[in-house]
Amino acid sequence: MAHRPTFSLSSTIYDFRDLRSAIKFSLEERGCRVLASEFNDFGGNLDGHSYEACLTNDYFVLLIGGRVGGWYDPNARVSITQQEYRTAYALNQQRKLRMVTFVRSEV
């Protein structure tokens, strides 16, 4: 069986709910595997941070809007999405992960 490209979706869920679902549906229709934390098929190590599970895939899709979401490090004011981005960027620089980023126009 051929390798199915795996995408992880990174964003706040509340304000991107419909877009996340549309991206997941569209990519899965094309034979890809899409991991989004709000779905039961997310997988990963449930004892660790959810962001770690996002970064073991082929593609990292980042959606940036006006909300911050949950904190990875509240004292340093680093959100989970920010930490996912930082780690994904480092992996991208090492050519271990491809990134796609979308920013809402009002941001």
Buried b (16+ CB within 10 A) or exposed e, 67-99: eebeebeeeeeebbbbbbbebbeebeeeeebee
In the prediction, which pLDDT does 54 show? Answer: 62
Model confidence, pTM: 0.83
Residue 92 is assigned to a structural domain of this protein:
yes
25 belongs to a structural domain: yes
Cα separation of the two ends of the chain: 42
Residues of the chain with pLDDT > 70: what percent?
A: 84
Judge whether residue 93 has pLDDT over 90. Answer: yes
Its sign, for the CA torsion 87, 91, 92, 98, is negative
Q: What share of the chain is helix, strand, coil (3-state, %, to 5)?
A: 35, 25, 45
Question: How far apart are alpha carbons 3 and 18 in whole angstroms?
Answer: 27
Domain count, the chain: 1
Domain presence at residue 12 = yes
In a domain, 94, yes or no: yes
User: How confident is the model over 19-70, as pLDDT tens digits?
Assistant: 999 999 999 999 999 988 887 666 555 555 556 666 678 999 999 998 998 8
pLDDT at 106: 85
